[in-house]
Amino acid sequence: MRFESVPDYHMHTPRCNHATGNVMDYCQAALNVGLKEIGMSDHSPMPGGFDAAWRMANNELPDYLAEVENARDTLAGRLDVRIGIEADFHPGTENAVSGMIQAYAWDYVIGSVHYIGDWAFDNPDELARWKDMDVEQAYCDYFELVGQSALSGMFDVIGHPDLIKKFGQRPPEGSIRVEMAENAMLESVLASGAALEISSAGLRKPVGEIYPQARIVHKAAKLGIPFAFGSDAHAPGEVGHGMDECLTMLVQAGVQSVVAFQQRQRRDVLIQAVS
Ligand code: ZN
Ligand code: FE
Ligand code: FE
Ligand code: ZN
């Protein structure tokens, strides 16, 4: 199915050291594919040198904000540009992250889990560590952290909520433990009031599947958890990628709208098919 565009709220800049294109390039790409609203959400600074190679440094944050503000002001009336950030949820860093969030008038904040303990499970450089892992346990630990991230209350959107599958490792078929961990995660998201991200990035990764998988989308929809769309673009050509696939999955789960944010106030955007 094809749909009217909805906001794409997940894209990066070269400050994270693994993306290309400046903010205006992402905006131009968004206009080219017919989007009306986007949000930048580069990887935030984190305290204590956490994952420093894969994110902007503290002293790059003002420049990031100025670049996005400038694009927003320049394109006013043509493209709505929101100012977001993708912060990591990592136990022990909450105070610093919360301080960063309080210090600026964000339109929204995405909270993502990229680490289990000291293991960056989605980092290609740490792929070898999967062979020492109990896959079922890794999934359970991951969903536990995602649930905690929601309950921290710091985030508007819970990023790519089954990222653990990125490289294609799968728990045993029908694992009750993983199902229960998924359910607990969703109950936490529901209680927190945050939106769940539906992300097309997984379609471009070895797993070849939307984050989160259809089973989770259907359970979340049944609970009434809202969704936000993100392409997680790390290059301008990825802006809006996979939007129709993601919206098709939402519609099949009975979801009628996605959310948008301005100054952390949420509104609904109807999902409308194009005939
Ligand atoms: Zn990234
Ligand atoms: Fe992420
Ligand atoms: Fe991202
Ligand atoms: Zn991401």
* C-alpha pair distances (Å), 268 with each of 3, 6, 227, 229: 16, 10, 10, 12
Q: Does domain 14-270 have CATH number 3.30.930.10?
A: no
12 touches 43 (CB < 8 A): yes
Q: How far, in Å, is the centroid of ligand 1 from the Cα of 12?
A: 7
pLDDT in tens, 104-123: 999 999 999 999 999 999 99
- The protein residues having their C-beta less than 5 angstroms from ligand 4 (an ion) are 232
Q: Where are the alpha helices (DSSP H) in the chain?
A: 23-32, 61-74, 94-102, 135-151, 176-192, 214-223, 243-252
pLDDT in tens, 34-92: 999 999 999 999 999 999 999 999 999 999 999 999 999 999 999 999 999 999 999 99
Q: How far, in Å, is the centroid of ligand 1 from the Cα of 264?
A: 22
For the chain, give every domain's residue range: 14-270
Q: Which of 3, 4, 6, 2 is nearest to 229 (CA)?
A: 6
32 touches 77 (CB < 8 A): no
Q: How far, in Å, is the centroid of ligand 4 from the Cα of 38?
A: 15
Q: How far, in Å, is the centroid of ligand 1 from the Cα of 259?
A: 22
